[in-house]
Amino acid sequence: MSKVNTVGAELAELRLVRAATDITGYGLMGHLVSLCRASGVSAEVDSSAVPMIDEEIAELIEQACIPGGSRENLVATTVAVDWGSTDDSRRILLTDAQTSGGLLLCVPETKLEKVLGILRQRRTPCAAVIRKNYCPSASWSIDMRERMKPRSRREIPAVNKILDALGEYDLATASKLPRPLVVDLVRRELSKIRSNREIPEFESTIEHLHRSLELLRASRLQQVINGTGIVIHTNLGRAPIAQTAIRALTEIGSGYSNLEYDLATGERGQRGAYIENALALLCGAEAATAVNNCAAALVLIVHHFAARNGRARPQPARRGRGAPSKNEIIISRGEIVQIGGGFRIGEIIEATGAIFREVGATNKTTLDDYRRAIDSRSAMILKVHRSNFFMSGFVESPPAASIAALARKSGFLLWRIWAAARLCRLSNLGLPSTNRHPRKH
C-alpha cells in the first residue's frame, strides 16, 4: 500500500459499500474467506482480474522466493477454496502475506461505477473489479456454505497423524531424512488431497508418501557403483578423491587451520599462496589459481585479459584519445557450445562485457579465419574442447599448436578450455598416454 486508506472510511460514510476489510497477513484469499464466513455468503473471483503491481513479483515466485507465511496461507485456504485451473503462481499471489496490502471492498453492482469514480478521483494507485462474469473453467470460486463442512473434508488426516504412521517405517530404514523435509513433503501431499474431489484412503496416502520418501532419499548424495566403463564420469562425481587427500581433509578440516594466516610473520596471509605456487610449478605456468568450474574460470580470465583496466564493461576509446580497448574474444563458430550446468560460452563472455567475435563456420574453421579476425581490438583466441560431442565428415579445424603459434606471433593469448586434463604420466598407471597435459599447451 502506498497511500492511507482514508478513502475506505469515506465510502463507508456515503453508504456505498456493504462490507470491507484491509488485506494484511492472511493475504487476499485469507481475508476474503473470513469475510464470507462472517457474512454467511459465498464469493466468486476472476483470478486474472487481480492486478500484479510489479512484474518482478512473478519472477520471484518462479524462483521460489516465497515467504513461509504465504505458503501457510495457501495451505490454510485450500480447504475452503476451489482453485480450479488457477496456476500455482497466481495461487501464491492471491494468498501472499501482506504487511499493508490495501482494501477489499464489497460493493453492490448498482453502486459500482460510482465507487470506481471516487477511487479514480482520489488517485487510488490501483482499483480493480475482481468479480465479474467469466467462463467457469477460467476462474475459481469460494463457497463457504457448501465447502467448509463436508464430511469428506473431515476425513483428511492431520499432519501429526501421518507423521506418527510414518514413524515406524522411517525408523526401520538405514538413513532417516531430516524431520523438516518429511513434514514439508506431508504438507504438500495433504494440499494436493484438499484440491481433489475425492479423499483417498488413509493407507493409500501413507503408501504414496512411502514412495515419495524413497525418491527423496534416492536424491541425496551417496555412493554408487560405476559400471559405465567411463573412469572419469561427470554425472558420477568425476574422479574419486584419493585416500591421502581424504585423510588430509579430515585431519585439517576437523579443526582450525592457517587458511588465511601467515605462521612465519604472525599476520594475515594469502589464502591460496601455497596451492597456487604448487599448481603453477606442476603445469609449467607463470601463475595459477583454482576455481569451482570452467564457467568461473572463463569469467575470471576474460575479465582480466579482455576488460581493460579491470572494468567489467570496457568502453571503446574515442577517436583521437588513445588506442582502442582490447576486448574482443575470437572463437570458432563450431566451438560456441553449452558446457555443464547449462552455461553457454557466448552468454558467459557477453556477461563480462567483452565482445564476442565469431569466425569460420560451424563445420569448418581455418587458420586464415583466425588470422583475418585479428586486429588492434583482439584480446585473445578462445579454443574450446568438444568434450561430449564430435563432428565428422566435411569438417576442418586447425591444430591447437598452429593457433597458439599465430597468437604468439600476434602478441596475445590463446586460451584453451579442456573438459579434463591430466597432471601426471598415465604410463605410471599402466594406461596409454594422451596429449591432454597442460605443459603441452
Residues 182 and 275 in one domain: no
pLDDT at 194 over 80: no
The mean pLDDT value for 370-389 works out to 85
pLDDT tens by residue, 306-361: 865 344 444 444 445 555 677 888 999 988 888 767 788 888 888 888 888 899 99
Q: What pLDDT score does 138 carry?
A: 36
In a domain, 225, yes or no: no
Residues 129 and 166 in one domain: no
Residues 281 and 309 in one domain: no
Residue 251 pLDDT level (bands cut at 50, 70, 90) = very high
How far apart (Å, rounded) are the C-alpha atoms in residues 71 and 84? 18
Asked whether 423 and 284 are in contact (CB, 8 A), the reply is no
Q: CB atoms < 10 A from the CB of 406, how many?
A: 18
Which of 194-198, 252-256, 281-285 reaches the highest mean pLDDT?
A: 252-256
Q: Of 6, 66, 46, 244, which Cα lies nearest the Cα of 134?
A: 46
In a domain, 231, yes or no: no
Q: What pLDDT score does 358 carry?
A: 92
In a domain, 223, yes or no: no
Residue 132 pLDDT level (bands cut at 50, 70, 90) = very low
pLDDT at 440 over 70: no
Asked whether 307 and 347 are in contact (CB, 8 A), the reply is no
How far apart (Å, rounded) are the C-alpha atoms in residues 87 and 78? 14
> Domain range for residue 250?
243-286
How far apart (Å, rounded) are the C-alpha atoms in residues 8 and 10? 5
Lowest mean pLDDT among 164-168, 330-334, 424-428: 424-428
How far apart (Å, rounded) are the C-alpha atoms in residues 352 and 304? 10
How far apart (Å, rounded) are the C-alpha atoms in residues 62 and 89? 7
Give the number of domains in the chain. Answer: 4
Residues 142 and 27 in one domain: yes
The mean pLDDT value for 134-147 works out to 39
Residues 47 and 102 in one domain: yes
The mean pLDDT value for 140-145 works out to 42
Q: Is 29 exposed, middle or buried (0-12, 13-18, 19+ CB in 10 A)?
A: buried
The mean pLDDT value for 419-434 works out to 67
Q: What pLDDT score does 343 carry?
A: 80
Greatest extent of the chain over all pairs of C-alpha atoms, in Å? 93
Residues 142 and 12 in one domain: yes
Q: What pLDDT score does 366 carry?
A: 93
Residues 265 and 321 in one domain: no
Residues 182 and 120 in one domain: no
Residue 232 pLDDT level (bands cut at 50, 70, 90) = confident
Residue 133 pLDDT level (bands cut at 50, 70, 90) = very low
Residues 64 and 20 in one domain: yes
Q: Is 405 exposed, middle or buried (0-12, 13-18, 19+ CB in 10 A)?
A: middle
Q: What pLDDT score does 146 carry?
A: 37
The mean pLDDT value for 378-390 works out to 82
The mean pLDDT value for 360-383 works out to 90
pLDDT at 145 over 60: no
Q: What pLDDT score does 227 carry?
A: 93
The CATH number linked to 69 is 3.90.650.10
Q: CB atoms < 10 A from the CB of 343, how many?
A: 16
Q: What pLDDT score does 372 carry?
A: 92
pLDDT at 147 over 50: no
Residue 435 pLDDT level (bands cut at 50, 70, 90) = low
- The set of cell numbers assigned to 44 is 466468486
Q: What pLDDT score does 151 carry?
A: 42
- The set of cell numbers assigned to 106 is 464489497
The CATH number linked to 412 is 3.40.640.10
The mean pLDDT value for 374-401 works out to 85
**Which DSSP symbol is given to 229?**
S
Residue 218 pLDDT level (bands cut at 50, 70, 90) = confident
In a domain, 254, yes or no: yes
pLDDT at 302 over 80: yes
Q: What pLDDT score does 169 carry?
A: 54
Q: How far apart are the first and last CA of the chain?
A: 61
Torsion of CA 390, 391, 397, 400, to 10 degrees: 10
How far apart (Å, rounded) are the C-alpha atoms in residues 291 and 416? 16
How far apart (Å, rounded) are the C-alpha atoms in residues 381 and 281? 24
pLDDT at 76 over 50: yes
Q: Are strands 328-332 and 261-262 parallel, antiparallel or unpaired?
A: unpaired
Q: Of 124, 5, 114, 147, which Cα lies nearest the Cα of 53?
A: 124
Asked whether 143 and 39 are in contact (CB, 8 A), the reply is no
Q: What pLDDT score does 231 carry?
A: 82
In a domain, 210, yes or no: yes
In a domain, 78, yes or no: yes
The mean pLDDT value for 266-278 works out to 89
The mean pLDDT value for 279-296 works out to 85
Residues 32 and 55 in one domain: yes
Q: Are strands 413-417 and 81-82 parallel, antiparallel or unpaired?
A: unpaired
Q: What pLDDT score does 421 carry?
A: 65
Q: What pLDDT score does 192 carry?
A: 81
Average pLDDT, the chain: 78
Q: What pLDDT score does 370 carry?
A: 92
Q: Work out the percent of the chain whose per-residue pLDDT is above 90.
A: 11
Residue tagged 598407471 (cell numbers): 429
